[in-house]
Structure 1
């Protein structure tokens, strides 16, 4: 499988300070409206030589005009060097390079109930099991949706819109501990690309709740906003879908796509 890779250089100060968007040298090629993104194989430009020769996966989340670094995972330097070299040649096949990076996915297939690539439980599959969604094996905290009286534009209902919804919420709402932030900050087995499910993704999760396990007969937040004061939830007792005040604390279960 032919895949490219973006390499950026970031000052060592990145590890303790917010990063201005124009300090992201050479990429990644995303708009500021995306809210958050993950960059594999970041090489740190470190005058103090503390990080020289080391490569990291970094997750950046937009907070106003800044991108805040919220997680760093060190990667195998030789794997990164191979991938970086391969990315400079669009015709080079990188599928046989071993490593735990998003750009080196194998052709493993999954079915509902399997343990997913990150260690969650698979509850939705497409493309014959090549792609799908996995859920965290347990709930996060009970918390409010947040952004009360703020219209975030996180209105995606369909499967494959939860990640975008979560990005929009985090872009427009700086309140700590809200549902989207708990899901977005979740880490399992070094995988950092979790998000709060859209209402249709949450419904898929409800339909397979007995397979995934660990759910309470309680209300769970989706990332789908209804309007400035309300967002959508699902009752995992009877499956009812409805909207609710953003200020009310409901349960959270993070998911990710693979």
Structure 2
């Protein structure tokens, strides 16, 4: 069914534009009696006036066509938010408000990175006490689950600041990946971003040059360290400069205190 999402609105638009064109060509240059507006004598006297009058409906038609195409683009984008893309994508494509940094073998599912950091330094925990969110899932596509658990766990504490997971979840951007959403019904706005899991963050690190915009600094993941030996106060992060983390070798040994400040780069899946 999704294979026809792009074709059907396009056919409808073409029919609509053809109808408008036929209506315009058949009625735009006749008077109410059906006679042609201009005579030979009128043509020589009122050429400038006639040309100006004729251009009015043409300009109006062009404006309507532009509006229809924008409306069609929004319909397609809204449908793809639910069903996924209608054509295969590849790593490096600008899509869904960011850049694709991972794609599966089908080309229809993958991960999108936002084009800029959401924070240059923010704690993982935003309450007045250290929380354990049980956000221990790792792998591809599980960062959203971790982010949801982190936000839910904060509902029981006294918030004293924003925190990484909420900043990622609250992020939204228009289709160009740059402009902030304004709430206009006509704009294409991409939401459902989240804080990447440790593995998703490691993959993002491997594509850091492709995605771009990263600082030589530590970035948060949403994956908590297992709660043993009082390690529930830590979570994973990666230092985006070399394979050596600021806190150890490799991302699985990069344990940060949840009260530390680190950067946030939101991602989303499709």
Band the TM-score falls in, shorter-chain normalisation: 0.5 to 0.7
**TM-score, normalized by length of structure 1?**
0.60
2:105 aligned residue? 127
1:156 aligned residue? 137
Q: Distance in 2 between matches of 1:113 and 1:178?
A: 29
Shift of 1:104: 4.3
| Contact 1:98-1:104 within 8 A present in 2 as well | no
Deviations 1:158-212 (A, max 9, x none): 1111000000000001434100000000001111100000000000100000000
Higher relative strand content: 1
2:116 to 131, 138, 153: 138
| Contact 2:221-2:236 within 8 A present in 1 as well | yes
Gaps of 5+ in 2: 3-70, 175-188, 246-250
1:247 aligned residue? 259
- Asked if 1:191 corresponds to 2:170, the answer is no
How many correspondences in the alignment?
A: 166
Q: Which has the higher contact order (CA 8 A, sep 6+)?
A: 2
Runs (4+) off by over 6 Å: none
Give the aligned CA root-mean-square deviation in angstroms. 2.2
2:206 aligned residue? 207
Q: Distance in 2 between matches of 1:256 and 1:234?
A: 18
2:6 aligned residue? none
Gaps of 5+ in 1: 3-77, 80-96
| Contact 1:120-1:136 within 8 A present in 2 as well | yes
1:108 aligned residue? 87
1:234 to 232, 238, 241: 238
Say which one has the larger Rg.
Answer: 2
| Contact 2:84-2:109 within 8 A present in 1 as well | no
Q: 1:188 to 1:231 in 2, by over 3 A?
A: same
1:181 aligned residue? 166
Q: Distance in 1 between matches of 2:85 and 2:211?
A: 24
Q: 1:233 to 1:98 in 2, by over 3 A?
A: closer
Q: Distance in 1 between matches of 2:215 and 2:242?
A: 11
| Contact 2:222-2:235 within 8 A present in 1 as well | yes
**TM-score, normalized by length of structure 2?**
0.57
Q: Distance in 2 between matches of 1:246 and 1:195?
A: 17
